Structures are given as C-alpha cells and as structure tokens.
Amino acid sequence: MLHFTEYDTRLAGYAVITRGDEILLTWFNGARPGWSLPGGGIEFEESVEEGVEREVKEETGYDIELGGPIVTDSFTDTDPERARPFKSVRILYAAEIVGGTLGTLEVGGTTDRAEWIRFQDLDDLDDHPHADIVDLAVSLARPR
C-alpha cells in the first residue's frame, strides 16, 4: 500500500445539472474524446465549490448555484509516462442554473461544446463515447 506522500493527487469537482428528462453534458476533446460532465480540476488556491462554478461557466456559459455533494468517486492510475502513481478524487454536486447562456467560453481548452442530452438518448451509453463519470451521474440523476 502506498503512503499518501508517494503518489500525486488530482482533485476535481463536477456539476450534475438536469432539466426535466435532460442532463447537461460537455464534449471533451482530449486524449480520449467523448461526453463528460461540466467541471474539472480544482486550482490550488480555490475551494472545490469555487472550482466547480468556474469550470461550469467556462465549459457551458451558465452561472450555477451549487447544492450539496451527491457522491465522491476516485480511481488510481500507474501510467508509465508519469513519474509517480496518480489518484483522482472527484466530487459530484447537484447544481441549478441561475444565469448565463449556453455556449462554451473556454478558448483553447479541452471542451468543445455543451449540450442538453435526453436521458433516453443515453440508454445505451456504450453507443456514445463518454467518461465513466457520466455513467455515475446518469445513474444518480435519471428521473425514475
């Protein structure tokens, strides 16, 4: 077992934003392109909540009000291209839109666009390239 001083940690926060039978997703254009949640890495000097609000604004154009955390999730990676093992800690928050207009404000970043996607269109997520965090969010947010 590795001691916490022996690996790097990435802290990230994401917003789960729904309206009726839709969820707001972003298109990630990085190494493995696909749908993701609005959000991402938290800067050193900001709180997780500030980071989520900033990331959502950059990636979707929306201003949000965060609710409480819904769930935390983590994974580890031992990519040989990294000098040290890596742990990602992700916190998902419920959020509501309080202003702004849909449209990605990020210039030269990893998000190309944001879209409202109907839950029924995500019934077979295997048909849509996506980050695993989308599976988690859909399972928690889908109307019953």
> Would you say residue 124 has pLDDT above 80?
no
Q: What would the mean pLDDT of 114-134 be, rounded to a whole number?
A: 88
Higher per-residue confidence, 42 vs 124: 42
> Band of the pLDDT at 108, cuts 50, 70, 90?
confident
> Band of the pLDDT at 87, cuts 50, 70, 90?
very high
> Would you say residue 144 has pLDDT above 80?
no
The whole domain housing 90 covers 4-141
- In terms of Cα–Cα distance, which of 115, 93, 89 is closest to 35? 115
Mean pLDDT of the chain: 93
> Would you say residue 125 has pLDDT above 80?
no
CATH assignment at residue 71: 3.90.79.10
What is the count of structural domains for the chain?
A: 1
Distances from the Cα of 31 to the Cα of 34, 67, 85, angstroms? 10, 31, 19
Instruction: Please write the tens of the pLDDT for every residue from 60-78.
Output: 999 999 999 999 999 999 8
Q: Which percentage of the chain shows pLDDT scores above 70?
A: 100
| Pure H helices in 1-71 | 48-60
Q: Residue 102: what pLDDT?
A: 97
User: CA-to-CA distance for 29 and 6, rounded, in angstroms?
Assistant: 30
Q: Residue 80: what pLDDT?
A: 84
